[in-house]
Structure 1
C-alpha cells in the first residue's frame, strides 16, 4: 500500500511521535511512503532549532534521521513554515533574516505537493491538527 502522511502538530506533541512510529511500521511491513508533508505546527518537527529536554525523546532528530535514512520525500509547507519562522537558506536570504533553520533533507514547497501525494497514494494518513 502507498501512504501519504501529513503531520499537523509540533514535534513535542504525542501525535508527532505517533506519526513517526506509524511511518516506521509502514516501511517495516513493506508499504511505501509517497510523501511526508509537514503542515501547520507540524513544520516545527523539521526545524533545526528545536531542542528537546534531556529526559524527552528528540523527535525532530528522529524525523530527520528517518527521512534521510530511507531517502523519503519530506516536504514542509512553505506558507506554514514562513509564518512560524522555519526558513531554508534561500528564504532566509529573501526575507533578510539572520539565519536559516531548515536543514537537509527537508524541502519547502506548497500545498500542491500534498495534493500530488494524495493522488499518488492509496491512503492519506493525518496526525494532529484541529
Structure 2
C-alpha cells in the first residue's frame, strides 16, 4: 500500500513526532510512502539553523535522517516556507537574502505536489491542524 503523508504541525507539536513514528511504521510494515508533504509550521523542520537544547531530541534531524536513509520524496510547501523564512539556495538568491537555511533532502515546491501525491497514493494521512 502507498501512503501520502502531510504534516502541518511544527517541531514542538506532538503531531510532528507522531507523524514520524507513523511513517517509520509504514515502512516497517512493508508499505511505501509516495511523498511526504510539509505544510504550515511543519516547514520549520526543513530549517538547518534551529538549535535544540542538549536534553531534547532534535526532531528536525530525525526527520532528515529518516528521509535520507529511506530515500523518500520530501516536499516543503514553498509558500509556507517563504513566509516562515525557510529558504533554499535558489530562493535566497531570488529574494536577495544573505543565506539559505534549507537544502537536501528537502524540495521546495507548490501545493500541487500534495494533490499529485494524493492521486497516486492508496491512502493520504494528515498530521496536525
TM-score range, shorter chain: over 0.9
1:29 and 2:22 matched: no
Unaligned stretches of 5+ in structure 2? Answer: none
1:72 and 2:58 matched: no
Aligned counterparts, 1:9-20, within 5 A: 9-20=9-20
1:61 and 2:61 matched: yes
Aligned pair count reads 129
Give the TM-score of the pair, scaled to structure 2. Answer: 0.98
Secondary structure in structure 1 of the residue aligned to 2:10: coil
Instruction: Measure, in 2, the Cα distance between the counterparts of 1:124 and 1:89.
Output: 30
Aligned counterparts, 1:103-122, within 5 A: 103-122=103-122
Secondary structure in structure 2 of the residue aligned to 1:69: helix
Unaligned stretches of 5+ in structure 1? Answer: none
RMSD: 0.7
Question: Which consecutive segments of 4 or more residues in structure 1 shift more than 3 A?
Answer: none
Secondary structure in structure 1 of the residue aligned to 2:126: strand
Secondary structure in structure 2 of the residue aligned to 1:54: coil
Aligned position for 1:41: 41
Aligned position for 1:100: 100
User: How far 1:84 sits from its partner (Å)?
Assistant: 0.4
User: How far 1:103 sits from its partner (Å)?
Assistant: 2.1
Give the TM-score of the pair, scaled to structure 1. Answer: 0.97
